[in-house]
């Protein structure tokens, strides 16, 4: 006798899939999925599952508690869940949800990045409309026995990429702040070869060091220190490949405080010393 799921009025699925060893080691893969029509008293309260989950609400609404936050996902919205953490979701009115659990070796850091950017894994209509076709392709594919694991992995990847795309700058900061960030970047481009500090950049745009650092990271998704460092490192690569300047001169021309600091930073970023990097390109 089939097990009754309270609050599940109708369902298409559940479709279970077993990933190959290749998929488990190298791809994103689906574990199982279904489409549910829900109503009260549907409720799931889970403390742990070795999987991740996507829920796409096509009708009605579903309530969620994730990472201490409560929110409601409505029609044409979706939610990404890390089921390794406690999560709780339920229906209070009729709803329809397309959902699947998935896994993959590199999903954890990607989802952490998405949570940091988004706040709670809940995405509204503009994002949902962009991933709808990928969800449908996955739902269609897992219903058949000979699914293409590369195809499924690509569609999961596309969903995560859409979720990880930063919002438009105008939605996360004022016009004045964006102008200040652009001025700061232009100042870096013009002066990175000098030994400027982040405090000099903040002063140039008339912000306190604390406020500027926080705002820059919010808008550019990296710290001003790393942004300036990467700018300098890009320039050093050009000099290493196109000139015969010494390491000391390249460090000085690129704004590094010393050649030893330059060598450490370069090796950390590339896993190569500047000399080794130069020798690789001299052999081309």
Q: Average the pLDDT over 238-260 and give the result.
A: 94
Q: Rounded to an integer, what distance in angstroms lies between the CA atom of residue 80 and that of residue 74?
A: 14
pLDDT tens digits, 32-45: 999 999 999 999 99
Provide the residue ranges of all domains of the chain, joining segments of one domain with +.
8-164, 172-282
Letter string b/e over residues 149-164, b meaning 16 or more CB atoms within 10 A of that residue's CB: beebbbbbbbbbebbe
pLDDT tens digits, 160-207: 999 998 765 444 456 788 889 989 999 999 999 999 999 999 999 999
Q: What's the sign of the alpha-carbon dihedral 101, 107, 110, 116?
A: positive
Q: Give the model's pLDDT for residue 118.
A: 82
> Residue 234 corresponds to which tokens in the numbers above?
């890009």
pLDDT tens digits, 96-131: 999 999 999 999 999 999 998 888 899 988 888 899
CA angle at 122 for the pair 64 and 114, rounded to the nearest 5° = 125
Task: Domain 172-282: give its CATH architecture.
Answer: Orthogonal Bundle (1.10)
Q: Give the model's pLDDT for residue 204.
A: 95
Kindly tell me the burial class for residue 242, based on how many C-beta atoms sit within 10 Å of its own C-beta (0-12, 13-18, 19 or more): exposed
Q: Within 10 Å of residue 23's Cβ, how many Cβ atoms? A: 19
- For residue 75, what are the CA distances in angstroms to 98, 167, 241, 243? 11, 21, 54, 59
Q: Give the model's pLDDT for residue 172.
A: 47
pLDDT tens digits, 124-173: 888 888 999 999 999 999 888 666 899 999 999 999 999 998 765 444 45
Q: Rounded to an integer, what distance in angstroms lies between the CA atom of residue 31 and that of residue 132?
A: 19
Q: Give the model's pLDDT for residue 171.
A: 46
Same CATH fold, 172-282 and 8-164?
Answer: no
Q: Give the model's pLDDT for residue 168.
A: 53
Tell me which of 1.10.3720.10, 2.60.120.280, 3.90.1640.10, 3.40.50.1220 is the CATH number of domain 8-164. 2.60.120.280
Model confidence at 209: pLDDT above 90: yes
Q: Give Cβ neighbours of residue 148 (< 8 Å, ≥ 6 apart).
A: 141
Q: Using an 8 Å Cβ cutoff, are 13 and 99 in contact?
A: no
């Amino acid at each position: 006798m089939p097990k009754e799921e309270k609050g599940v009025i109708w369902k298409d699925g559940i479709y279970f899939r077993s990933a190959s060893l290749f998929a488990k080691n190298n791809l994103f893969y689906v574990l199982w999925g279904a489409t549910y029509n829900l109503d009260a008293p549907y409720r799931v309260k889970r403390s742990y599952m070795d999987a991740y989950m996507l829920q796409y609400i096509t009708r009605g609404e579903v309530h969620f508690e994730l990472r201490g936050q409560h929110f409601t996902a409505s029609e044409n919205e979706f939610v990404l869940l890390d089921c390794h953490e406690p999560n709780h979701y339920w229906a209070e009115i009729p709803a329809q949800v397309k959902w699947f659990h998935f896994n993959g070796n590199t999903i954890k850091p990607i989802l952490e990045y998405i949570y940091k950017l988004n706040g709670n894994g809940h995405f509204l209509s503009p994002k949902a409309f962009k991933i709808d076709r990928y969800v449908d392709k996955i739902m269609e594919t897992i219903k058949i026995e000979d699914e293409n694991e590369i195809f499924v992995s690509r569609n999961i990847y596309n969903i995560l990429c859409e979720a990880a795309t930063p919002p438009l700058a105008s939605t996360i900061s004022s016009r004045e702040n964006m102008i200040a960030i652009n001025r700061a970047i232009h100042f870096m481009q013009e002066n990175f070869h000098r030994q400027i500090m982040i405090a000099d950049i903040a002063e140039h745009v008339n912000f306190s060091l604390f406020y500027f650092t926080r705002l820059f990271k919010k808008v550019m998704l990296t710290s001003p220190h790393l942004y300036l460092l990467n700018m300098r490192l890009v320039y050093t690569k050009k000099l290493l490949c196109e000139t015969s300047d010494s390491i000391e001169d390249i460090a000085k021309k690129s704004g590094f405080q010393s050649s030893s600091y330059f060598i450490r930073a370069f090796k950390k970023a590339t896993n190569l010393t500047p000399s080794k990097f130069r020798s690789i390109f001299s052999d081309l």
